[in-house]
Chain A
Amino acid sequence: MATEFTVPDVAAKTAAAANQEFETEKMSLAMGPSHPSTHGVLRLQLELDGETVTHCAPVLGYLHRGDEKIAENMTYNQFVPYTDRLDYLAPLASNAAYAAAVEKLANLEVPARVQAIRVITSEMARVSSHLMGLGAYGIDVGAWSVFFYCFTEREKLYTLFEELTGARFTTSYSRIGGVSRDVPEGWTDKVVAFCDQFLPILEEILKLLTRNKIFMDRTVDVGTISAADAISYGLSGPNLRGSGVKSDLRKDRPYWGYEQYDFEVPVGSKGDCYDRYLCRGEEMRQSISIITQAIAIFPAGSYYAEDARRIFAPKKAKILSSMEELINNFMIVTEGPQMPAGEAYFEAENPKGTLGFFIVSKSGGVPWRMKIRGPSFCNLSILPKVCQDELVSDVVSILGSLDFVMGECDR
């Protein structure tokens, strides 16, 4: 039997191959939760076409500890250490914001000295947080040394925090109605000395990046967020201002006497990573200015609200000498600071954005319900939109520029 051979039609095959589109597959890539540039335990489920991101889905919750539920099971002062662990890069600011929220519930006015202390510590926390953000951003775009320069300055701040609060990292400085201890003698001078030496160093650090061609290539026009988008996604802090929205709670709804300080609110023009970086740099300068102003007019007086008799535990000397104070102390420590029934919402301009606490009280020493508005959570909500059609390296650049902290995002 003869075998029949068919001659392949080469011309037709070539034509078919030319018409046929290459079948490409998309690749899914899990960026995180353990990835050097996701700043903690954020996970981005990316869908890649080559190196271009076609879809980005943030997966949150790896650091969820149920802080809001925990708050319902402890007295107001007991929750202060948990606020350290929200934005753990600026615990002093979170402490103060939480205390202010509870004080708003109690309708309690704190003395001018407490307000000044809170302003100073919050601004120091802002500088420390932005330094960390700037350093980490340096690593994200490959400039390692920036990180170490920032960390050296941050260490100096932490030494000051340690002297003030007894802890470097988890400060737990606030109490409802005041702060846990007064400012030590000579501490303000050290802060001023720090500010004086810090400004030239900051300029030096920023000089490494601001006009650096490679850095600008990596950040200008990357991750652009329009002002309308920034507002509709609920962005806050430097990320919102980077998009050109002049919104700063310290100016818009001044608290703790921010209205008496003279400072500028920097805003960006385009809303890209570079603008957000510039905003943070300028905010550090403004914070230093606020700190020096606050120390210049540092009021004397008590470091706690003395009329808040059922809220702030009395001093030890009084407890040991007066029966009534002893009972009062016992009640506050065991049952918590006594709050009236009602609800209150307070938000403060934290380094990462607007940190809000919504507290519902049915009177007594324990909140009925507490809701925390974490700025990082809202800031990250724009990721799927802003990462669309960017390169993998740009995702890193965008993440760094949003400067989030997962402790506050997952709560």
Chain B
Amino acid sequence: MIDLYLDLPVWIQSALKGLIVIMVIIPIAGACSLAERKVSAWIQGRPGPNRATVPWVAWIPFFGKFLQRLGVFHLMADGAKFIFKEDVLPGHVNKFYYYLAPLVALVPALCTIVVVPFGAYFDAATETLQPVILANVDVGILAVFAIGSLSVYSLILAGWASNSKYPFLGGVRASAQLISYELSMTLSVIPVFLWVNAPGGNGTLSLFDVVQSQSQPGFLGGMWFVFLMPLCAFVFLVALFAETNRQPFDMPESEADLVGGFHTEYGEFKWSLFFVAEYAHMTIGSGVFVLLFLGGWNPLPWVPLAPLIAGLPIWLGGLIGIGVFLAKSLAFIFLFMWIRWTLPRFRYDQVMTIGWQKLLPLAIGNVIFYALAIAVIERS
């Protein structure tokens, strides 16, 4: 099977990888939208979506009813609705950019997953842990930031191309907010890589190596970075909320004052693309957070994965690795939703104040502190 794959021309291999990306991220994003509805219902004391069903499924004893109560068919119904709705083009928009914006939202989100390892397996031949990843590039985190931040263009394009006042305000807010928080976000991961790239090692920005350095023996070696660098994790978390436009930082779309913000003029499938993109960003953001600070696929702090799965068949070990990683990511996505349905929303100027006057100095001070601390530790 593997040999068959390796014999294929490179472009078919790439196409297959691309297909896998879409097959992985779109269902997760869809499941997130359902989860959001169910989690919000749970928080607000309602049953949530539990009505839609498809013929015959309800006849399956127990399981059919269970699926219906879970609301999985709402997901399909929503998808079908968005696809079959009339594709309305408002007369006042700039057609080209109007159509481009949802694509620009989705494509970077799908691209970033390429460099994010979502599991690990134990290679018996080399006796090393290998990442389950589409492209294990050295620049890892840089690629995530570089491609991920392109999605700001989608909000700006949507805001401008809609040629309408509320989307315009949303687009202006989006551009200012996303650029402001990107600084803090990038600064917050620098200590992590200072720690990972100890002198003598080969310099790397790969996310796989970040997890590897959280799986070392010893007290400091096995410690997850969230315990080692709580401030980094905090700054990254806040910036992540802002970057993914999640409440309390959902300025670009804050529906109370801007109706729908940048997507006010969007409908049907184009609208849903924005949302798939938002959830995809959320999924990847959670994944990156788990890799950077929560030990990736290591089940517990000071309990690395490699010895646990060393004796198991390769597929089982791989599944365990992916399972641990996914479980952590999903728990993190739950945190996103929990916060969204609990906290009120900031005002736009407050978001900017927090970004520039609180988070950025904190991130800079944090970098300086850890740079000194790491230097001291490595000298001794």
Query: Chain A interface (Cβ within 8 Å of chain B)?
Result: 27, 29, 35-37, 51, 138-145, 148-149, 152, 208-209, 212, 214-215, 217-218, 391-396
Query: Chain B interface (Cβ within 8 Å of chain A)?
Result: 40, 43-46, 165-166, 169, 247-248, 250, 254-259, 341-350
With A393-B347, A393-B348 as contacts: A142 and B44 at CB distance below 8 Å: no
**Other A-B pairs beyond A218-B344, A393-B348, 17, CB < 8 Å:** A27-B165, A29-B165, A29-B166, A139-B256, A142-B254, A142-B256, A142-B344, A143-B344, A144-B341, A145-B341, A148-B45, A149-B44, A209-B344, A214-B346, A217-B347, A218-B346, A393-B256
Tell whether, in the assembled complex, residue B40 and residue A144 are in contact, meaning their CB atoms are under 8 Å apart: yes
How far is it, in angstroms, between the C-alpha of A142 and the C-alpha of B245 when the chains are bound?
13
Q: How far is the CB of A211 from chain B (nearest CB, A)?
A: 12
Question: What are 30 A-B interface contacts by the 8 Å CB criterion?
Answer: A29-B166, A36-B256, A37-B257, A51-B169, A51-B349, A139-B256, A142-B248, A142-B254, A142-B256, A142-B343, A143-B344, A144-B40, A144-B44, A145-B40, A145-B43, A208-B342, A214-B248, A214-B346, A215-B344, A217-B346, A217-B347, A218-B345, A218-B350, A391-B349, A392-B169, A393-B254, A393-B347, A394-B347, A395-B257, A396-B256
How far is it, in angstroms, between the C-alpha of A392 and the C-alpha of B259 when the chains are bound?
12
Instruction: Choose among A139, A144, A392 the residue with the greatest number of B CB atoms under 10 Å from its CB.
Output: A144
How far is it, in angstroms, between the C-alpha of A145 and the C-alpha of B40 when the chains are bound?
8
Q: Which residue of A lies closest to B173 (CB)?
A: A51
CB-defined contacts of A395 to chain B, threshold 8 Å: 257
CB-defined contacts of B43 to chain A, threshold 8 Å: 145
> Chain A interface secondary structure, helix, strand, loop or mixed?
helix
CB-defined contacts of A142 to chain B, threshold 8 Å: 247-248, 250, 254, 256, 343-345
CB-defined contacts of B169 to chain A, threshold 8 Å: 51, 392
CB-defined contacts of B345 to chain A, threshold 8 Å: 141-143, 214, 218
Instruction: Choose among B166, B248, B343, B347 the residue with the greatest number of A CB atoms under 10 Å from its CB.
Output: B347
Which of A138, A152, A394 contacts B45, CB < 8 Å? Answer: A152
CB-defined contacts of B46 to chain A, threshold 8 Å: 148
Nearest 10 CB-CB pairings of A with B: A142-B345, A148-B44, A143-B344, A141-B344, A142-B344, A396-B257, A393-B347, A214-B344, A393-B257, A215-B344
How far is it, in angstroms, between the C-alpha of A215 and the C-alpha of B350 when the chains are bound?
12
CB-defined contacts of B166 to chain A, threshold 8 Å: 29
CB-defined contacts of B254 to chain A, threshold 8 Å: 142, 393
How far is it, in angstroms, between the C-alpha of A27 and the C-alpha of B167 when the chains are bound?
14
